[in-house]
Amino acid sequence: MPSNDITPTRSVLLDVKKRIKLSKSGHKIMKMKRDGLIMEFFEVMEKAKAMRSSVVSDYEIAMERIAIARAVEGEIAVKSAAYALKNEPTVTVGSKSIMGMMVPKVEADVSKSTVLNKGYGVISTSAYIEEASKAFEKLLVTLVRAAEIETTMKKLLDEIERTKRRVNALEFKVIPELEDAQRFIKFRLEEMERENTIRLKFLKSKG
Amino acid sequence: MFGRKGKKGNYAYTVARVKAKKSALLKEDAYSKMLMMSLPEISRFISESGYQKEITELTGKYNGVDLIEHATYANMANLFKGILDSAEGELKDMIAADLERWDAWNLKVILRGKSYGLDMEQMKEDLVPAGKLGLAQLETLMGYGSEEEIIQAYGKFVDLAIPQNVLATYGEEKNLAVIEDYLDKAYYERLLLNVDPSSRPKRLFQDFIRNEIDITNLETILKLKKEGITGDVILGYYIPGGAQIDKKLATQLANADSVSAMANDLAQLDFYEDIKDALDDSKSLKDIVAALTKYHRKQAKTFTHLYPLSVIPVIDFMIHKETEVNNIRIIARGIESGLDKEIIKGLLVV
């Protein structure tokens, strides 16, 4: 805050003091939030790492199963079974709060899908196609969960960056400037006090 | 229903035709060679081994592994159709009843395609007219507007009266599974009815069918058990007429807590030795299915050299042809998908 913008009065001093107090407590809370977010980020990162390896392994299993199903039963049979499907998996997108930050909560619902209600006959449908279908349902759940975790991680990173900037702004700009302003007002008030005393002494000596 | 007391059949002519065709089938070592080939090499190899006509016909429409799959299916369909057309009397009835599985397959493809909204050309690509119904009749089915009309027309074509309760359930639930499961049950019921067990070769054929019913029933029980389904629900899919798995045993198997708990009940069955290693809850269902398929083909081999003037050589050829088509596809698709050679070998039935 440039000193020529400051009116050196007691009320402004009180206001600046209040703002310094508020900024310091804000700075403390922001620092705590930043540390909390960093801790949360590391936890999410571990989950994301595990989830990435699950995605890779589930994808490999699903691709192998579908390759076997296409080989044993033929592309025609696999395609035909896919056309018969009645239940499409649903994806529900919600949100949850981590330290006041909203992150997505995504859930894939494939639980209702059993061999009885898929839309094709139970007797003739090959176990190879059924296993491929199960593997892809599992992959879908893992992918959706991975998407949720990766988005949370990205949002956490953005939030940490933003909080860090705010902490730095408070620590290195806002609070020092307010303290400078406080010092300037105090100095000016003291100066005005001294000028007043001298003025009074001068008037007394004249009278 | 087909006439069981009709004309005897032209066994000598049909068997002679079939034997000539069987000698042209790929030998076991051909599969090992194919495993070392690329897809274009496989196409070329099979076109030099009896599939040239179909490969040439379809080469403008498909390429790569799709060409191989469609050409092998088309070749099989042409051969089966030729055998059916040349057979007469009770032999024709038995072959037709056996090939009805392909009619049911085509009906399922049409119904699924229709419910998904495919047009006629798209559905036609997936048909394998290897049964009694030719392409013209299948096109007529595809021409109908609704699934109900298709089912009714199919019933008329193959002389199958689909029960009202099945149609009503389909009407309510709009789930094709009801129709498909009925077709599979009806297929075995009609096939058994068409094989008059008055002679030894026909009894052998009937035993083979009963064995297939056992395998199908066991596969269904295992499929449902893996999903955690037990009891009466499983029994709803039971196909009567099996050789070893009767209703009582099926109930015991259906009520078992897990796949491994079924081992005791299965120990009395002929194929137990072939599948016992795969009977573990932690193992994949496809291991058991692969073991059962191999057992079924092994069973077929036990009677193929017997009774040269009977239905047996014809059925034996059709089994071998289908196995050849499946094996070619397994190799081609396996190579295309980059499957490990050992996995591909494990899937082959030789």
A122 lies within 8 A of chain B by CB: yes
Residue A66: inside a domain: yes
Can you tell me the distance from the alpha carbon of A124 to that of A117, in angstroms, rounded to the nearest whole number?
Answer: 14
- CA B74 to chain A, closest CA, distance in angstroms equals 13
Mean pLDDT of A52-61: 96
The answer to whether B204 touches B94, Cβ cutoff 8 Å, is no
> What's the CATH code of the domain at A63?
1.10.287.3240
User: What was the pLDDT predicted at B4?
Assistant: 44
A64 lies within 8 A of chain B by CB: yes
User: What was the pLDDT predicted at B264?
Assistant: 83
The total number of structural domains that make up chain A = 1
- CA B329 to chain A, closest CA, distance in angstroms equals 6
Asked casually if ipTM beats, i.e. exceeds, 0.95, the reply is: no
Compute the mean pLDDT over every residue in chain B, rounded to the nearest whole number: 89
A151 lies within 8 A of chain B by CB: no
Can you tell me the distance from the alpha carbon of B220 to that of B238, in angstroms, rounded to the nearest whole number?
Answer: 8
The answer to whether A67 touches A100, Cβ cutoff 8 Å, is no
Q: Which of B70-79, B92-101, B196-205, B246-255 has the lowest mean pLDDT?
A: B196-205
Confidence of residue A112 (pLDDT cuts 50, 70, 90): low
* Domain, as residue range, for A94: 25-160
Q: Higher pLDDT residue, B284 or A202?
A: A202
Residue A70: inside a domain: yes
Would the pLDDT of B304 be above 90? no
Confidence of residue B311 (pLDDT cuts 50, 70, 90): confident
**pTM for the predicted model, two decimal places:** 0.84
Can you tell me the distance from the alpha carbon of B112 to that of A119, in angstroms, rounded to the nearest whole number?
Answer: 9
Nearest to B323 by CA among B304, B283, B350, B292: B350
User: What was the pLDDT predicted at B139?
Assistant: 95
Can you tell me the distance from the alpha carbon of B75 to that of B63, in angstroms, rounded to the nearest whole number?
Answer: 16
Can you tell me the distance from the alpha carbon of A91 to that of A141, in angstroms, rounded to the nearest whole number?
Answer: 9
User: What was the pLDDT predicted at B259?
Assistant: 78
CA distances from A13 to A1, A27, A81, A178, B247 (A): 13, 20, 78, 10, 95
Which candidate from B180, B184, B347 shows the least CB-CB separation from A68? B347
User: What was the pLDDT predicted at B145?
Assistant: 87
Residue A128: inside a domain: yes
Q: Sort out which chain A residues have CB atoms less than 8 A from B113's CB and list them.
A: 80, 83
Q: What is the H or E stretch that residue A95 is in? A: strand A90-98
Q: Which contacts qualify for A35-38: CB closer than 8 Å, 24 or more apart?
A: A36/A99, A37/A98, A37/A99, A37/A101, A37/A156, A37/A159, A37/A160, A37/A163, A38/A160
Confidence of residue A201 (pLDDT cuts 50, 70, 90): very high
User: What was the pLDDT predicted at B225?
Assistant: 86
Partner-chain contact A114 B126, CB within 8 Å: no
Instruction: Determine what percent of chain A is predicted with pLDDT higher than 70.
Output: 97
Instruction: Determine what percent of chain B is predicted with pLDDT higher than 90.
Output: 63
Task: Tell me which architecture the domain covering B200-309 has in CATH.
Answer: Up-down Bundle (1.20)
Could you report the per-residue pLDDT of A128-151, keeping only the tens digit for each?
A: 998 899 899 899 999 999 999 999
Can you tell me the distance from the alpha carbon of A39 to that of A33, in angstroms, rounded to the nearest whole number?
Answer: 10
Partner-chain contact B180 A121, CB within 8 Å: yes
Give the number of beta-carbon pairs within 8 Å between A and B: 125
Confidence of residue A28 (pLDDT cuts 50, 70, 90): very high
Partner-chain contact B339 A68, CB within 8 Å: yes
Q: Kindly list the domain boundaries of chain B, sorted by start residue.
A: 200-309
User: What tokens does A94 get?
Assistant: 């919600």
